[in-house]
Structure 1
Amino acid sequence: MARKTIPLTNTEIKAAKAKEKDYKLFDGEGLFLLIAKTGGKRWRLKYRFNNKEKVIALGTYPTISLKEARTKKDEYKNMIANNIDPSEKRKQSKEENKIQEIQKLNTFYKISQEWLESYKYEVTERYLNKLERSLELYVYSFIKDRPIEQIKRLEIIDILKDLKNRELLETAKRVYMLLNKIFMYAVTMEYAPHNIIADIDQNTIIGRVEKKHYPTFIKEKDIKGLLLAIDDYSGDYTTKMALKILPYIFVRSYNIRHMEWIEIDFNKKEWTIPANKMKTKTEFILPLPNQVITLLEEIKQFSGDEQYVFPSFRHNDRPMSDNTLVSALRRMGYTKDEFVPHSFRSMFSTIAYENANHEAGHKFTSEVIEALLAHKEKNKIKDAYNRASYKEGMRELIQWYANWLNNLKKDSKKEN
């Protein structure tokens, strides 16, 4: 006949003292209290699962009272009756808790910053700063510290609706695209199981956004006025020279401001813009018309010992600031709705296309025009071929355009 275990009492447990070796006080149904030789008292439950004897810890006494230990025992016995191993269940729960803790650390801010770090090799530093600025202005206030896996579609929709309500439709579209890239990265790196941005129809939330074109001048009288205004500009010398060169080469503002002397080849009359400064992330060799070479030779006497052709007037080791050219155009009387630095590109494109295959114009095709604008051809093989085959055409066309601009100013002087 099996020996019946007499249940423990609180008095018995309190009176139990440490001995030379660990020993056990049994309560019945597998529950016992282990009295360690160091004096500690630990609750344990011995049970069988799949014909294997196992022991699971229930906690220490007096943190876990006798009553609480018996309640835990009953819970585990019930789990065993339902074919659930308490030890495996606890192990699984610990693993789930560990995963949840990791997920809490994987906030949107952390993952977005990680993505920015990986993306910096694909875009210019200026563009990367622009993306980070967008996150700070329009996104972080909503979901910065939220675990990325827990972010819901409605939270993203709130961000987009906020921009729409502020009539920042183009910004909303860009933020949507930015968030999509970040969530794609999160899925790729297994920070999130699904890209929730892909489930949001931006047209439904934002509405269709009409593409905004940069303002520019296409009438000869307006272009004449602009060129003469630049010649008469009375502000900083470096700024004036940058404005005088920009109409002839019509590059992006970032490129003209970050132009370095080491990139200029006076013998070949070329400017090699490194890939890391190009929006296309491809090195670009721009032929320079004679007018620009003359201007650069003049400027070299002023900043030839510096790194940048157009250094900041505050710090010679830094390029001209982003706002310098814009401010100069405003001082000349041109509003942002009339003309911006990027407008020189649109101006060239319009004039070049209007004068293509024209008796008094030029003979060059759209491919040459687009090549001068450094627009990337989607077909990589064709793109490489274009850069090689259109080199001479690019040189002739940019010289034609420079002459065209000069003739406008000459005609204007005759009229006066």
Structure 2
Amino acid sequence: MKLRLTDTAVKNAKPKPDGKPAKHTDGGGLYLWVTQSAKVWRYDYTRPITGKRNTLVIGNYPETGLRDAREQHQTARDLLARGIDPSEHRKAQEAAERDMMANSFESVALEWLVKFRHTWSDSTYSKITGILRRAVFPWLGARNIATIEPPDVLEVLRRQEAGGKLETAHKARQYIGQICRYAVATGRSTRDPTPDLKGAIPPVINKSYAALTNPQEVGKLMQDIGRYPGRFETRLLLQASAYMFTRPGEVRQMQWAEINPDRSQWLIPAERMKLRQEHIVPLSRQMLALLDEIKPLTGYRQYVFPGRNDPRQPASNSVVRQALIRMGYQPDVMQAHGFRSTASTLLHEELHYPSDVIEKQLAHAVGSKVRRVYDRSQHLPERTRMMQEWADYLDRLMGALAG
């Protein structure tokens, strides 16, 4: 079989000039399928017995390189020579692995995630799954959950502690404990090993998010944002973060369908809010103008601020942080979450708004649980007035420096 591709050719492979997918063949039915967003190794073959054509997806490039793709291709060809359909063989292997892993920590964890998904906001769910996938699954995922002992968990936690991620270590312990207790409740384990680790790692010393609270510095920040040299969408995302001071994940996931321009409001659904209650954000004239500015670019998409690499998804959670760093604002000076602290401080100290109104706009839980049940006040007229005055105040701070 004559091979056609080289590592350089694979690396430089592109779709067709008109943007349609291109097929770069290597021989024997193996080829690289190249679209504008991905490169995928595929193998076209004829199924034994039925004689029908089928395609086996081998893997994505660059995760699967040319050499690895050829090896997997040859394995599939060897199976065919023995009358075995490689796609069916893969399914059988995966089924066997699923049976073997039915009581693994990862499988129980994934079941737990599905079971309790409705109790978390999108951002909380993403945080939990992120910690599990990065900090737990690589070391405990394949283990039978009934065999996990305290030293096994401690090893995972200390790995995070050694990397300076003490908060992640504590969160990991919390999630591991919840998953193990779920396994006990469903008859797949007999105990939760995490209580034995109390005091095994140092406590977290909580630090507030870094934020600018000096009016002149805030004016300079707004001026720098207005001159941001990066992507147009990122500049507007930074401005929206300042004007609305919602949680970073909320503004990144802002959707056109949630905006009511007639009422000058953005309604964030309960499932995306930390407190699991829908939240109204009054839109200032500046925010409405910003939305008009970006609408020709993203108005036909789901998200107001779509992702750069995949516009079907919201902007990355690192966009604002990276943009602030690019402008010279290091994380110990100003963070994406810091826009909330900036607004809270200056609305108190400079614009003299009452705490209840500010806290309601920040979507914080105010007062006792009993009080929150009976307090249905939205402070909407006051918040509408406050959001406009806040936007005007930011513009004045910026204008004072320009003058």
Shared fold per TM-score greater than 0.5: yes
Secondary structure in 1 matching 2:345: helix
**What do residues 66-114 of structure 1 show as CA deviations (whole Å, max 9, x unaligned)?**
xxxxxxxxxxxxxxxxxxxxxxxxxxxxxxxxxxxx9984121211111
**What is residue 29 of structure 2 aligned with on the other side?**
none
Check the 8 A contact 1:214/1:340 in 2, yes or no. yes
Partners of 2:396 and 2:375 in 1: CA distance: 30
Partners of 1:297 and 1:104 in 2: CA distance: 51
Partners of 2:302 and 2:219 in 1: CA distance: 33
Structure 1 residue 411, shift from structure 2 partner: 1.6
Code of the residue aligned with 2:282 in structure 1: it is P
**What is residue 341 of structure 1 aligned with on the other side?**
336
**What is residue 169 of structure 1 aligned with on the other side?**
166
**What is residue 279 of structure 2 aligned with on the other side?**
284
2:252 aligned residue (254, 257, 265): 257
Code of the residue aligned with 2:390 in structure 1: it is Y
Partners of 1:188 and 1:293 in 2: CA distance: 51
The answer for unaligned runs of 5 or more in structure 2 is 1-98
Partners of 2:148 and 2:213 in 1: CA distance: 48
What pairs with 1:240-389 in structure 2 (closer than 5 Å)? 240-355=235-350, 361-362=351-352, 364-377=353-366, 379-380=368-369, 382-383=371-372, 385-389=374-378
Structure 1 residue 378, shift from structure 2 partner: 6.9
Code of the residue aligned with 1:312 in structure 2: it is G
1:224 aligned residue (198, 216, 219): 219
Kindly name which structure, 1 or 2, has the bigger radius of gyration based on alpha carbons. Answer: 1
What pairs with 1:74-93 in structure 2 (closer than 5 Å)? none
**What do residues 169-209 of structure 1 show as CA deviations (whole Å, max 9, x unaligned)?**
111111111112212322332322332323431xx211221
CA distance 1:262–1:229, change in 2 (3 Å): same
Structure 1 residue 259, shift from structure 2 partner: 1.0
Code of the residue aligned with 1:337 in structure 2: it is D
CA distance 1:296–1:256, change in 2 (3 Å): same
**What is residue 145 of structure 1 aligned with on the other side?**
142
Check the 8 A contact 1:161/1:205 in 2, yes or no. no
**What is residue 396 of structure 1 aligned with on the other side?**
385
**What do residues 26-81 of structure 1 show as CA deviations (whole Å, max 9, x unaligned)?**
xxxxxxxxxxxxxxxxxxxxxxxxxxxxxxxxxxxxxxxxxxxxxxxxxxxxxxxx
- Pairing 1:131–2:128 present: yes
Code of the residue aligned with 1:366 in structure 2: it is S
Code of the residue aligned with 1:331 in structure 2: it is R
Structure 1 residue 385, shift from structure 2 partner: 4.8
Partners of 2:394 and 2:294 in 1: CA distance: 20
Check the 8 A contact 1:308/1:318 in 2, yes or no. yes
Secondary structure in 1 matching 2:119: coil
1:154 aligned residue (135, 144, 151): 151
Structure 1 residue 398, shift from structure 2 partner: 2.0
Q: Does 168-177 or 157-166 show the bigger shift? A: 157-166
Check the 8 A contact 1:160/1:205 in 2, yes or no. no
Q: Does 255-264 or 184-193 show the bigger shift? A: 184-193
CA distance 1:263–1:385, change in 2 (3 Å): farther
Structure 1 residue 344, shift from structure 2 partner: 0.5
Code of the residue aligned with 1:252 in structure 2: it is R
Code of the residue aligned with 2:356 in structure 1: it is E
Secondary structure in 1 matching 2:118: coil
Check the 8 A contact 1:111/1:182 in 2, yes or no. yes
- Pairing 1:408–2:403 present: no
Structure 1 residue 320, shift from structure 2 partner: 2.0
Structure 1 residue 283, shift from structure 2 partner: 1.2
Partners of 2:187 and 2:124 in 1: CA distance: 26
Partners of 1:402 and 1:205 in 2: CA distance: 48
Q: Does 245-254 or 191-200 show the bigger shift? A: 191-200
What pairs with 1:60-79 in structure 2 (closer than 5 Å)? none
Secondary structure in 2 matching 1:120: helix
CA distance 1:413–1:196, change in 2 (3 Å): same
Structure 1 residue 284, shift from structure 2 partner: 1.0
Secondary structure in 2 matching 1:205: coil
**What do residues 333-388 of structure 1 show as CA deviations (whole Å, max 9, x unaligned)?**
22222222111111112212324xxxxx33x3222211111113474553355453
Q: Percent identity?
A: 30
**What is residue 119 of structure 1 aligned with on the other side?**
116
**What is residue 69 of structure 2 aligned with on the other side?**
none
CA distance 1:156–1:375, change in 2 (3 Å): same
Higher relative contact order by CA 8 Å / sep ≥ 6: 1 or 2? 2
Code of the residue aligned with 1:404 in structure 2: it is Y
Partners of 1:257 and 1:136 in 2: CA distance: 22
CA distance 1:319–1:208, change in 2 (3 Å): closer
Two-structure CA RMSD over aligned residues (Å): 2.3
CA distance 1:378–1:103, change in 2 (3 Å): farther
**What do residues 238-278 of structure 1 show as CA deviations (whole Å, max 9, x unaligned)?**
11111122101011222112111111111111100112222
**What do residues 271-314 of structure 1 show as CA deviations (whole Å, max 9, x unaligned)?**
00112222222211111122212222222233323222122344
CA distance 1:139–1:318, change in 2 (3 Å): closer
Secondary structure in 1 matching 2:168: helix
TM-score computed with the length of structure 1 as normaliser: 0.68
Partners of 1:104 and 1:239 in 2: CA distance: 43
**What is residue 79 of structure 1 aligned with on the other side?**
none
Partners of 2:399 and 2:298 in 1: CA distance: 29
Code of the residue aligned with 1:182 in structure 2: it is I
Structure 1 residue 389, shift from structure 2 partner: 4.0
Secondary structure in 2 matching 1:272: strand
1:196 aligned residue (183, 193, 196): 193
Partners of 2:146 and 2:100 in 1: CA distance: 7
Check the 8 A contact 1:142/1:159 in 2, yes or no. yes
